[in-house]
Amino acid sequence: MSMFEDNHYRWRETYFVMFRSGQRPSLSAVQEALSALDERYVLLNLTDDERGMFDSLTLRSPDDYAALDICYTSGAEVLEQGATLAEEIGPAACQEGQRDMLTRIQQADARFDVLHFEQVPEFPEESEEPDEMLDPTALLLVLGSLAKITDGIALDPQGGAILSEED
């Protein structure tokens, strides 16, 4: 079940982790990495392919009033999007240490789509500011962890920003 089907959450934005398909992790590796981030994270709807490689999962972070749907995509669509994103981000938008990341984004033939959801207050009229509860901590930790285990690059495609840091 996707978080789109849960009336207690609403979609905010989608982020990517771009990587080479040869770096696709197993479901157990993703589960282990994400579970190690915070013991309060709840992992649901875990699926893999016939070889045990990661396909999708949902992570709920009650303390952050957030949830994430994460799914794997690969192929020509990802290569085309990588070329477009690298062009949009462009060398001028990158910090000096991130220039080689543009090439890696263009070479990526796989990605994780990380859909960020905000928990909706049970009684919206009691909330003065709708964004005051959402904490991006889970999102940032998960993006960093996924980038690390895939040797990938985390991106905010809407903002045209590279979120990964070089080691």
Summarised one tens digit per residue, pLDDT across range 62-102 is: 999 999 999 999 999 999 999 999 888 876 556 666 778 88
Mean pLDDT value of segment 33-62: 97
Confidence of residue 128 (pLDDT cuts 50, 70, 90): low
Which pTM value belongs to this model? 0.89
Per the prediction, the chain carries an average pLDDT of: 89
Mean pLDDT value of segment 113-136: 76
131 has a pLDDT exceeding 60: no
Q: Supply the pLDDT for residue 100.
A: 84
Mean pLDDT value of segment 138-155: 97
Angstrom distance (rounded) from CA 58 to CA 45: 6
Bigger pLDDT: 160 or 47? 47
